[in-house]
A and B are shown apart, each in its own frame.
Chain A
C-alpha cells in the first residue's frame, strides 16, 4: 500500500521526465537539419513555408514585447493591491475584497482572449497616441489583458510575503513616529522583498508561457519589431498554431514545434526554479 502511494508521488517525477523526453529527441533531430546558431540568431521566421526560414528571434521578440506589456500592468498594480490589502484594508474589508481579486485568477484564458480582441483592442486602436492606428490584432491588447490576468497572482504572492512580516517591525516603526506610507515603503516592503521578487519572476514566467490570449488577440505574424501596436507571434502562439495545422509527423516543420517548445520549457523552468530558490534562500526567518 505504501508502495502504491510512493508510486503516486513518483509519477510527478515521471511527468517531468516525460516532458523532457518528449522534447529532446525531436529537438536534436531538428538541429541536425537546421544549424543551431542560425536558429538562435536568425531574424526570419517562416518554418512552415517554402523556402522555410528558421530564425527564432522574431517569435522570441514577440514573447518579450507581450511579456513587458503584461508585467507593466501586473507587477505595479498587483503590488499596490497587495500593499493595500495587507497594510491598509481592515480585516472585514479584506475578507470581502480578496475573493473578488481571486475571481480574476479563475477566469479561463480563452475568455480573456475574447475580451482582449473584442473589447480592449478597439480601445487601443482609438486611443493610440503615435501615428498610424494599430490593427485589430496587436501585442498591446494581448499584453494588457494578460497583465490583468496575472495581477491576482502577483497580488496574492506579494500579500503572503507582506503578511509574513511580523507586526513588531511595523509597531517599532510606528513608535518612532513613522506614517503609514513610511512603514509600508521602508519597513514592510523591504522586509518582504524576497517574496515580492519571487512573485515578479513567477509572473514573467506565467506571461511567457500563456497561450490562448496571444493566440486570439496578438495576431499570427512573426515580427521583429519592438512596437507593441503591431501584430506579433509569440513562441506559445506559434506552437499552438502549428499544432492546429495537421503537420506530417517527422517533417522539419513538425520538429520545429519541439525545438520552440524546448526553448519555452527551458526559459520558464529556469525562472520557476530561480523564483523558488529566492524564496527559500533569502527568506528572513522571523520567530
Chain B
C-alpha cells in the first residue's frame, strides 16, 4: 500500500445531520426572517399609509398658508417657520457646547479622576431620560419659574438643545476617539500645545463624524413634540415667529393638533404634514450619509 493512497478506513466519517436538527435549523431561520420581516412590514405599512392618505392634500399650501379652522384652506406655514427657528436655536446652543464637552472629555479630562468618570456616566444616563421630563424642566425653570421666558422660540430651543446635548456629545466623542494617536504625537513632536493639537489636528480630522452626529441629533430634535407641549407651545399660532421672544408652533405639534380634530380634511392634512416632516428628515439623513461617505477617512 503506497503512502499516497488514502487509508479510507481510518477517515472519521461524520454522521449526517439528523433530520430533526436540519428541521430545527430551517425553522429557526424562518423565525428570524419573520422577525426581520415584521420590522420591514411595519416600516412599509407606515410609509404607505401616511403617503396614501396625505399625498392628495400635500402641496405648496402646506408652507404657504397659515393654519385655519377650515381644512380646505389650512396650511402649516407657521409650523414650518417655527420648526426652522427652534431648530436654529437648538443648533446654535447644542453644537458648540456638545463639541466642547466632547473635546474636553477626550483630550483634556484626567481619565483617572472621579469627576471625569462621573461626567461621562451622567451623560450616558441623561441620554435615557424621557423627553417629557425635559419638558417638566422647561416648565419649572425656563417657561415659568425663575427665568420665566414664556412659551417662546428661545425656551423651545433651549429645551431641545438640552435634550439632544447627550447625543451630540456621545457622537462627537466617538469621532474624536477615532482620530489616531499618531496624529497627536506628530503635532506634539513639532512643539504644538495640547490645545493647538486639539484645535488644528484632532478637530478637523473628526469633523465628518461630528457633523454626522450633529445632523442625527437635530433630526431627533425636529420630531419632538412632548417637551414643547409641556412648555405651553400647544396653542393656535397663525403667524410666523419674528424673533426669539415670539410664540411659536412646530410641525409635530401642528400634526398632533390636526390628529385631534374630527374632520376628515384635518386627518389628511395631518398625513400631508407627516410627509413634509419625513421628507425633511430624509434630506437631513441623506446629507449625513453623504458626509460620512465623502469625508470618511480610514486610518
Q: Give chain A's interface residues, CB within 8 Å of chain B.
A: 1-2, 4-13, 15-16, 18-19, 21-23, 26, 73, 76-81, 83-85, 88, 97, 100-101, 103-104, 106-115, 117-119, 148, 151-152, 155, 177, 179-182, 184-185, 202, 205-206, 208-212, 215-216, 236, 239-240, 243-244, 246, 249, 257-258, 261, 264-265, 268-269, 271-273, 275-276
**Are B129 and A265 in contact, with the CB atoms below 8 A?**
yes
Contacts of A211 in B (CB 8 A): 130-132, 225-226
Q: How many A-B residue pairs have CB under 8 A?
A: 262
- Min C-beta distance of A138 to chain B, whole Å: 16
- Min C-beta distance of B38 to chain A, whole Å: 5
The reply to whether the CB of B240 lies closer than 8 angstroms to some CB of chain A is no
Cα distance, A210 to B216, chains bound together (Å): 19
Q: Out of A10, A78, A88, name the residue touching B119 (CB < 8 Å).
A: A10
Contacts of A202 in B (CB 8 A): 128
The residue on B at minimum CB distance from A211 is B226
The reply to whether the CB of B244 lies closer than 8 angstroms to some CB of chain A is no
**Are A16 and B126 in contact, with the CB atoms below 8 A?**
yes
**Are A2 and B32 in contact, with the CB atoms below 8 A?**
no
- Min C-beta distance of A182 to chain B, whole Å: 8
* Interface residue count on the B side (C-beta < 8 Å): 88
Cα distance, A176 to B291, chains bound together (Å): 45
The reply to whether the CB of B156 lies closer than 8 angstroms to some CB of chain A is no
The reply to whether the CB of B88 lies closer than 8 angstroms to some CB of chain A is no
**Are A114 and B50 in contact, with the CB atoms below 8 A?**
yes
Q: Out of B32, B134, B225, B274, name the residue touching A212 (CB < 8 Å).
A: B225
Contact residues of B between 101 and 126, Cβ < 8 Å to A: 101, 103-105, 108-109, 118-119, 121-126
- Min C-beta distance of B15 to chain A, whole Å: 8
The residue on B at minimum CB distance from A180 is B25
Contacts of A151 in B (CB 8 A): 38-39, 42
Contacts of A236 in B (CB 8 A): 130, 132, 226
Of the candidate stretches B1-9, B65-73, B204-212, B252-260, the one touching chain A is: B252-260
**Are B277 and A258 in contact, with the CB atoms below 8 A?**
no
**Are A84 and B108 in contact, with the CB atoms below 8 A?**
no
The reply to whether the CB of B229 lies closer than 8 angstroms to some CB of chain A is yes
**Are A15 and B101 in contact, with the CB atoms below 8 A?**
no
On whether A101 and B39 interact (CB within 8 A), knowing A22-B141, A117-B259, the answer reads yes
Q: Out of B53, B135, B234, B252, name the residue touching A118 (CB < 8 Å).
A: B53
**Are A155 and B39 in contact, with the CB atoms below 8 A?**
yes
**Are B132 and A209 in contact, with the CB atoms below 8 A?**
yes
**Are A106 and B35 in contact, with the CB atoms below 8 A?**
no
On whether A268 and B129 interact (CB within 8 A), knowing A23-B136, A239-B230, the answer reads yes
Q: Which 6 A-B pairs have the closest CB atoms?
A: A80-B35, A209-B130, A108-B223, A8-B100, A22-B140, A272-B128
Interface string of B3-40 (1 = CB under 8 A from A): 00000000000100100011011001101111110111
The reply to whether the CB of B165 lies closer than 8 angstroms to some CB of chain A is yes
**Are B28 and A258 in contact, with the CB atoms below 8 A?**
no
Cα distance, A78 to B42, chains bound together (Å): 13
**Are A276 and B124 in contact, with the CB atoms below 8 A?**
yes
**Are A111 and B274 in contact, with the CB atoms below 8 A?**
yes
A-B contact pairs, 8 of them (CB 8 A): A12-B119, A22-B139, A22-B145, A80-B34, A101-B43, A111-B223, A258-B140, A268-B128
The reply to whether the CB of B84 lies closer than 8 angstroms to some CB of chain A is no
- Min C-beta distance of A22 to chain B, whole Å: 4
